[in-house]
Amino acid sequence: MTVLDEIITGVREDLAVRQADQPFEKLLELAREVQPARPVVPALRAPGLAVIAEVKRRSPSKGDLAEITDPAALATDYAAGGAAAISVLTEKRRFNGSLTDLGAVREAVETPLLRKDFMVHPYQFYEARVHGADLVLLIAAALSDVELRAFLDLTDALGMTALVETHTEEEVERAVNAGVEVIGINNRDLKTLEVDLDRFGKLVSLIPDDRVKVAESGILSIDDARRVRQEGADAILVGEALVRHGDPRAAVEEFASID
């Protein structure tokens, strides 16, 4: 069993608890009451390098990264620094995230929000909307073609945007063929947790220029960000470098200043 398989097993177990606590019909009711999702693609396509700044306490590969007692305050700093979007981890076991974090961040900022999780069931998409998400992460390695297309349709029906994460040629091709507008290339292999910053440069040419290209993982410095920008990134998704910086607002400003 790969690390990704283990994570998804835990995600499904935790999901079953939430489903038992809140029936789907009630979740549907709540989803109808929330404000429409915010558009994010224009911000990701704006001149310069767009920053998707992440509220991230820990990771499976590095353990605890930062003690984030107030995710809303951190997100406010990100927004003030010019983040195009803010990613909030909601997976509990490996990342110490929660939907409560997502809701708190939603109340604090107007910036588009990404629910960063392992999306494997329709229930999670309605949860995302109820808690204020404008984008959801779809991990190609975790989904069949049928699931990917179904989840893309559901994301669209709920007014949200999908960021489809890939890390192989085959996964990039699947995303492109499915008509995905925002495609991420993850430099981390979720099956082994190994990071290869060369991965983005090797795969980015497979993504047409009319799609938004997002570089994910392993971007720990301004030099890393400049590198992927030169290779064709429209946006970067950064967590560790921001939560460990000491001045998250200044860190986002520095990344966002890259042309």
Task: Count other C-beta atoms under 10 Å from residue 84's C-beta.
Answer: 26
pLDDT at 190: 80
What does the pLDDT look like over 87-107, one tens digit per residue?
A: 999 999 999 999 999 999 999
pLDDT at 184: 98
Structure token digits, residue 187: 């430099």
Q: How high is the pLDDT of residue 63? A: 83
DSSP, collapsed to helix, strand or coil, labels residue 25 as: helix
Sorted by where each starts, the structural domains of the chain and their CATH numbers stand as: 3-33+40-257 (3.20.20.70)
Where are any strands of DSSP class E within the chain?
Answer: 50-55, 58-59, 63-64, 85-89, 113-116, 135-139, 161-166, 182-186, 212-216, 235-238
- Residue 21: the pLDDT is 96
pLDDT digit string (tens) for 118-158?
999 999 999 999 999 999 999 999 999 999 999 999 999 99
In this prediction, the residues of the chain whose per-residue pLDDT falls under 70 are none
Q: Which residues contact 114 (CB under 8 A, 6 or more apart)?
A: 52, 85, 86, 87, 88, 133, 134, 135, 136, 137, 163
Confidence (pLDDT) at 60: 83
Return the pLDDT at 61: 82
Q: Cβ distance 49 to 236 under 8 Å?
A: yes
Residues carrying an active site annotation: 54, 56, 116, 165, 186, 216-217
Q: What residues have CB less than 8 Å from 189, skipping those under 6 apart?
A: 167, 195, 196
> Are 213 and 186 a contacting pair, CB within 8 Å?
no
How many residues can be counted in the chain?
259
